[in-house]
Every structure is written in structure tokens, then in C-alpha cells.
Amino acid sequence: MEFTFTQDQIAFRDSVSRFLMTEAPPEMLREVWDTDAGRSPELRRKIAEQGLTGLSVPEAEGGLGLGDVDWALMTQELGYYAIPDSLIDAAYIAAGMLAALPEGHAARGEWLPRIVDGSARIAVGHPVNPLVADAHLADLLLPHATPAGLELHALPAAAVKVETERSIDASRRLCRVTWQPSAATRIAEAAAGQAIWNQALERGALGVAGQLVGLAQHMLDMTVDYAGQRKQFGKPIGAFQAVKHHLADVFTAIEFAKPVLYRAAAALASQDASASARIAHAKLVCGEAALLAARKGIQVHGAMGYTWEVDLQMFMKRAWALNAAWGDRAFHQARLADALLADQAPLGPGATFH
């Protein structure tokens, strides 16, 4: 089995990286954090102009119709630059949920084109997340109701009550949402809605896993740079073997996490029966890499990485927050255990490419 990215996918990733490097430097992120909304309409507009909001929207609704593997690259870049925006929730998760509705459905026809042009913010309230990200700014909310399965509802902002909650990550704006389900708000019955919500969970967890890899890589790059500049006993601290070991551990963790992430994305894209287990594995491994990068980064920085003045704390706090989003460690460990301990589970070297 050979898995490589196409030249177009690599070019896409590089172009996104160059765009975000220019438009979202750390000093801009700090300015956005200090605003009441915590979001930059100007950055969102530029993201939409680049076509990034329409990646998952079908071509019939004006999007690019790209898949999960493309998002595995995209989410790493969003994580690397710690973009303070709910782009993934709207352009990847919500777009997939609305695209799963039958052709001609009113909600699909109304909201997918607005995702493409960037004029709509959509918040997704999956039961695995007790709080809803960016609900305070959402034009549309997709909450769940559980009378006999997970129904899918769609409500405008005026139909919900939103209470903001604080997060350790100042750029992650979380809300508690109160609303009343009705036949008028229901856009998918429990049978169809359950499948849509299951897919949303997989995409949400995969999106977070990709961001965690990007965050880990940025924290490693920052720490390497600091180790090359900070001097002790007349030489850069990066010259000392103990520091090299810290950095090597993080590098190894990232490189081992990437293929797990890509395999999970490929499984989801092909609707492989093992997709849930592979995504759970990716969420765990990518989370471990990000947490290790944060811990080692703080050690190399001499604990000053905690302080507000150092950019490391921005990425570290995002990693801590995202590690529990779309299913915490216990949730995904249980999902992975169910797959591994199932009867006739394909285990061992011979099942590597089962």
C-alpha cells in the first residue's frame, strides 16, 4: 500500500501556509483576543476570498467539493497558526451535515452557498461537547435533540439563548446554548439525523487531531528557535545534550502522529468500517504529541513559556483546550478499546493493511 499526497494537495497546503503566515501573525492574534467577540471579520473575509470556506461544499452549491484527506492538511495549517476562528465548524463539519440533506432541501439550498461566500457563521452543538464554540456569533445553530435518536435541528440566532463561558484558551469562545426543539426547527428525523451526527463527530475529532499536530509543530519550531538564541555558560542551550533530547522526543512524537492522522482521514474519506477506531487513535496520538510539545517547550524556555509575554503560551493553551474538544481522552480510549477488543478484530502484523 502506498499513500502519498498529490502535487496539487501539496501546493494547496503550501499556499494556505503562505496566506496564514502573512495574514495571521502572533501580534494580530493577540489583538483579536482582546476584542469582545474574539474574532476578526476582516480575517474571515480574506479566508473566504481565498476559497477556504467552500472546500467541503459540493460543486453544485458553488464549493470545491474537496474531501477529508485535503482537510487533514488544511487543519494542520490552521493549528500551526492558531487561527482564532470557527472555520472548521462551519466549512468542514456543518458543511458536511448540510450536504448530507437531500438535494432540494431548503436548509441545504439556503446555507451552503452562504458558507462558500463566508457570509454565514454556523455553530454545531454535538452532545460530545458540553459547550458550543462560537455560538455567540453564529447566524445558524445546528443543535441536537434526543427524543428517540439524534434529530438534527436548525435555528437562527434569535431563537436561542446563549450564555458565554470562559476558557483557558482566550481565543476559544465557548457558550452554553438553551433552545426549544419543535417540528418547525427539525430538518432531519432521528433515523437520518443519527447518521449525520455520527459523521459530524468523526469530522470534528479528525479536525481537532489535525490542529493538534499543527500546534505541536509550531511549538517545536518556537522552542528550537529559542534554544538556538538563549545562551548559558557561553553557548546556546540547544548545544546541550539534555535539551537536544527534549526536542528529539517532540519531533519523534509528531512524525509518528502524522501517518496515524493521514490513515484516519483516508479511512473516513473511503467510508472504511474502521474509520471510527482510526480517528479515535489519531485524536489520542495527536493530542499526546501536542501536550508533549507544550511540556517540553516550557522546560526549554525555563518555565517562562507560561507568561503572557511569550508567544508559546498561546499555542500551549490552544493545545490544552482542543485536547478535550470533540471527545476527551477517556471517550476516544473507550472507542479504540471497543474496536481492539471486539471478536475477530483484525490485529497483528498480517492485518496492517486489512
Q: What is the mean pLDDT of residues 156-184?
A: 90
73-105 pLDDT tens trace: 999 999 999 998 888 999 999 999 999 999 999
Residue 171 has pLDDT above 90, yes or no: no
Q: Give mean pLDDT, residues 244-249.
A: 93
Q: What is the pLDDT of residue 195?
A: 93
Chain-centroid distance of CA 83 in Å reads 10
126 within a domain of the structure (yes/no) = no
Domain assignment present for residue 35? The answer is no
**What phi, psi does 154 have (nearest 5°)?**
-135, 125
**Residue 203 corresponds to which cell in the numbers above?**
469530522
Q: How would you write the chain as a 3-class SS string?
A: CCCCCCHHHHHHHHHHHHHHHHHCCHHHHHHHHCCCCCCCHHHHHHHHHCCHHHCCCCHHHCCCCCCHHHHHHHHHHHHHCCCCCCHHHHHHHHHHHHHCCCCCCHHHHHHHHHHHHCCCCEEEECCCCCCEECCCCCCEEEEEECCCCCEEECEEHHHCEEEEECCCCCCCCEEEEECCCCCCCEEECHHHHHHHHHHHHHHHHHHHHHHHHHHHHHHHHHHHHHHHHCEECCEEHHHCHHHHHHHHHHHHHHHHHHHHHHHHHHHHHCCCCCHHHHHHHHHHHHHHHHHHHHHHHHHHCCCHHHCCCCCHHHHHHHHHHHCCCCCCHHHHHHHHHHHHCCCCCCCCHHHCCC
- 245 Cβ neighbours under 8 A, 6+ residues apart: none
Position 337 in a domain: yes
Task: Report the distance separating Cα 29 and Cα 311, nearest Å.
Answer: 10
Say what the pLDDT of residue 57 is. 93
- Confidence (pLDDT) at 2: 65
Whichever domain contains 265, its CATH number is: 1.20.140.10
pLDDT over 90 at 228, yes or no: no
Give the pLDDT score at 169. Answer: 87
Which of 224-238, 240-254, 340-354 is modeled with the greatest confidence? 240-254
Residue 347 has pLDDT above 90, yes or no: no
User: How many Å apart are CA 96 and CA 80, to the nearest integer?
Assistant: 24
Q: What average pLDDT does this structure show over 114-128?
A: 93
pLDDT exceeds cutoff 80 at 3: no
pLDDT tens-place string over residues 299-345: 998 878 778 888 899 999 999 999 999 999 999 999 999 988 887 77
Asked whether the beta carbons of 175 and 37 are under 8 A apart, the reply is: no
- pLDDT at residue 1 greater than cutoff 60: no
With 90 as the cut, is the pLDDT of residue 191 above it? no
> What pTM, to 2 d.p., does this model score?
0.94
Binning pLDDT at 50, 70 and 90, where does residue 352 land? low
Range of the structural domain that residue 246 is part of = 193-341
Q: What is the number of structural domains in the chain?
A: 1
Residue range 199-222: mean pLDDT, rounded: 97
Mean pLDDT of the chain: 90
pLDDT in tens, 10-30: 999 999 999 999 998 888 888
Reading the block at residue 160, the C-alpha cell is: 436561542
pLDDT at 276: 95
Alpha-carbon Rg for the chain, nearest whole angstrom, is 21
On the question of pLDDT at 196 being above 80, the answer is yes
The number of beta carbons lying within 10 Å of the beta carbon of residue 87 is 23
Q: Has residue 153 got a pLDDT over 90?
A: yes
Mean pLDDT of the 291-303 span: 92
In a domain, 76, yes or no: no
Is the pLDDT at 119 greater than 70? The verdict is: yes
In sequence order, what are the beta bridge partners of 161? 178
Distance in Å from the first CA to the final CA of the chain? 10
Could you tell me if residue 90 is inside a domain?
A: no
Stretch among 15-24, 34-43, 241-250 having the lowest mean pLDDT: 34-43
Please, which residues bridge with residue 174 across strands? 133, 165
Question: How large a percentage of the chain has pLDDT more than 90?
Answer: 65
What gap in Å lies between CA 134 and CA 124, rounded to an integer? 9
Q: b/e per residue, 176-209, with b = 16+ CB within 10 A?
A: ebebeeeeebebbebebbbebbebbbbbbbbbbb
The answer to whether the CB of 318 falls within 8 A of the CB of 174 is no
Q: What cell numbers appear for 281 in the block?
A: 487513535
pLDDT for the residue 7: 93
**Domain annotation covers residue 108:** no
The lowest-confidence range among 117-121, 195-199, 305-309 is 305-309
Residue 165 lies in a domain: no
Nearest by Cα to 207 from 88, 324, 290: 88
Instruction: Let me know if residue 87 belongs to a domain.
Output: no
- Quick one: pLDDT at residue 353? 58
